[in-house]
Each structure stands twice: as C-alpha cells, then as structure tokens.
Homo-oligomer: A and B are copies of this chain.
C-alpha cells in the first residue's frame, strides 16, 4: 500500500474523533470511581490511582464501549468491563515496570521508583484484584450465558497476557537471538493483542448482542489491530532516548529479528553479543551501533512496510467485520480504529516516513 492510499484512510471523521475523546473521558471517570478507598491510605489506596491518572492511550475501553454499541447494546452495559480492563492494564504496567527495571512511565517516575519496589508490587496486586472483582460483580447483571462467556473471556485474556509476558521476559533473560518473525508475532498476540484489542472487542460484542457465540466474530480484526498496535510501539521505542530505548532494555522486536536475518559475519556476531548482555549493561555506544546496523540493513524500513501491510489488512478486516452492522457511532469508531492506532503511534508524523 502506498503512502498516499494510507494517508487517505488515515482521516478520522471529526464527529468520531470527538466521540472517542468523550468515551475515553467517560471510561477514565469509571476507572477512578471503581477504585476502592480506605486504610491504609498512605501505603496502598493513595497509590492505586497513580498510574490510572497519568493519561494513556485509552484504546482498550473505547474498543469495548464501541463494540457494545455497534452490536446492539448501550455504552452503559459495557462500561464496568471497559473500566475493569483498563484497571488490569494498569496492574500489568506496574509489574512490567518492576520487571523491566524501568525508571519512567509516561514522563514521570515509575511507581516502584516513587514508592519502593515492595509497595509498588503490592499496589499492582491490588489493581489486578480490584479489576477482576469488578468484572465478577458487573457480570451479575448480565444473563447467565453472557456472564459466563464474559468471565471466561476475562480468564483467557489474563492468562494469554501472562503467557506473552513470560515469553518476552524469558527471551530477554536468556538473551535469545534465534527468533523467527512468527515467534515474535505469537508473543505480541499474547502479550498485547489479547487484552488490548481481541478481548475488549469480543466482550463488547457479546454484551451488546447478548449472544456469546459472537465473541468469535471480532477475533481476526482484534488480532490484526493488536499486532499493529505492538509493532507501532516497537518502532516508536527505537526512537526513545538512550536509557529508555527498547534496545537498551533488550526487547526482542520485529526490527531486531529482521536485522539478525539480514546481516552476517562480524557485524552479526557483534549485534548478538550486545543483545545477549543482561538488561541495563548495554552502553550508549553499543545501542547506537545496533541502531545504525538496523538503518543500514533496512530493518526499520522493513518493519514500517510490515506496519503498512498490517494496517491494510486491519482496514480490510474492519470493513468485512463491521460493514454489515447497522450504521451508528460505535460502528464508526470500530471502522476508524485502525487509523486511530496508526495516528496515536506517532508514525504518521515521523520524519523518515516514505
């Protein structure tokens, strides 16, 4: 797909854009209102809103709310689940930052830097527990088969994410460098797509239609959109400053996998040596060397081409999946969601865009 064709699809109708922002704000309120309070405030309950109030992309709740509306339900019906997914996301972020030894999250110190690792880990446990309890409670208002489908979806989503995280962390721990593109996509599907796109869409569709079997309907699109989201993040992560860069952190990305398949000899051996170092032990020079090799081997271009292909597939899948639904604001959002992910990734304005 050419840049022009892509750029043409990138436009999001102003009404849809406004509605997305409204739903994000609404979900954000629901998230904050769903957080319990009480004692101990200082060591626990004051910490819980810390990540949720730092504004994120808010993609997950919007997909869930839009799918529910598009499949015949109300935003209200999906709201507690949309908020619960966002809370679970924040729980994952807290633990992820501890696991990665990240110093920052969204421009502020990571939670474990602010409160110490033990209390941050504990707050992450609280967020995960509050999230799943909120889903269990909200499911009581649904017809029994719908409730069962939604809670089974919740369980699968949580475990898939943890499986993906295990792969990502394990590869980093062992300095694994013999990964294929398929390994990478399988890991992303689990670690990111399942809870970012697949299950938010499926839950919304099931709640909106009150038909458990419709959860399968949005799967393909959810998968593509989730991969697009992660790939965009990975390309973006290469532009981060030294010390917060994905190479620094030892992340296995599609760009890196391409590089290892594209070069040979001493340069490849050097890249392998660098990527096998434990996290945090790569020097700025070494990171710059890997980045340089990536540019030279065309790995960044390759990943960008993949991104365009994924976007084209996602647009097609959205048209097929949501085209037959009755027109309405939820459907408009789902049809525009690929552009939204593309746009928020920052790639549309990237200087090296071709």
Among B99, B136, B169, which residue has its beta carbon within 8 angstroms of that of A136?
B136
Per CB-CB distance, the 3 closest pairs between chain A and chain B, nearest first, are A43-B170, A99-B118, A44-B166
Q: A295-330, CB under 8 A of B: which get 1 and which 0? A: 000000000000000000000000000000000000
Decide: A130 and B151 in contact? CB cutoff 8 A.
no
Per-residue contact bits, chain A 255-286, to B (CB 8 Å; 1 contact, 0 not): 00000000000000000000000000000000
How far does the alpha carbon of A158 sit from the alpha carbon of B159 in the complex, in Å?
A: 19
Interface membership of A116, Cβ < 8 A: yes
Shortest beta-carbon distance, A122 to chain B, in Å? 5
- Measured CB to CB, the closest approach of chain B to A141, in angstroms, equals 12
Residue of B nearest to A155 (CB): B133
Tell me if B165 and A151 are in contact (CB < 8 A): no
Chain B residues with Cβ under 8 A from A172's Cβ? Answer: 118
- Given A119-B166, A165-B122, A173-B116, is A129 in contact with B159 using a C-beta cutoff of 8 Å? yes
> Is A130 a contact partner of B118 (Cβ separation < 8 A)?
no
Assembly stoichiometry (copies): 2
Asked if A163 CB lies within 8 Å of chain B CBs, one says yes
Q: Are A43 and B169 in contact, with the CB atoms below 8 A?
A: yes
Contact A167-B122, Cβ < 8 Å, known A136-B151, A155-B129, A173-B116: no
Q: Is the CB of A122 within 8 A of B136?
A: no
Residue A40 at the chain B interface, CB threshold 8 Å: yes
Query: Does A338 count as interface, using CB distance less than 8 angstroms?
Result: no
Q: How far is the CA of A148 from the CA of B23 in the complex (A)?
A: 30
Measured in the bound complex, the distance between the Cα atoms of B125 and A38 in whole Å is 24
- A-B contact sample (8 more), CB < 8 A, given A40-B163, A44-B162, A129-B158: A43-B169, A119-B166, A122-B166, A125-B165, A126-B166, A132-B132, A136-B136, A137-B155
Residues of B contacting A166 with CB < 8 Å?
40, 43-44, 119, 122-123, 126
Minimum CB distance partner of A98 in chain B: B121
Contact indicator A159/B130 (Cβ below 8 Å) = yes
Q: Are A99 and B122 in contact (CB under 8 A)?
A: yes
- Nearest chain-B residue to A135 (Cβ)? B136
Query: Nearest chain-B residue to A99 (Cβ)?
Result: B118
Task: State the main secondary structure of chain A at its contact with B.
Answer: helix
Known contacts A43-B166, A162-B125: does B119 contact A173 (CB below 8 Å)?
yes
Asked if A122 and B162 sit within 8 Å, CB to CB, the answer is: yes
CA distance A122 to B191 in the complex (A): 12
Judged by a CB distance under 8 angstroms, whether A36 is at the interface is yes
**Per-residue contact bits, chain A 20-52, to B (CB 8 Å; 1 contact, 0 not):** 000000000000000010111011100000000
**A95 at interface, CB cutoff 8 A:** yes
101-126 of chain A: CB within 8 A of chain B: 116-119, 121-123, 125-126
B43 A118 Cβ-Cβ under 8 A: no
A117 to B132, CA, bound (A): 24
Q: CA of A48 to CA of B117 in the docked complex: distance in angstroms?
A: 22
Q: How far is the CB of A90 from chain B (nearest CB, A)?
A: 13
Report chain B residues within 8 Å CB of A95.
121-122, 125
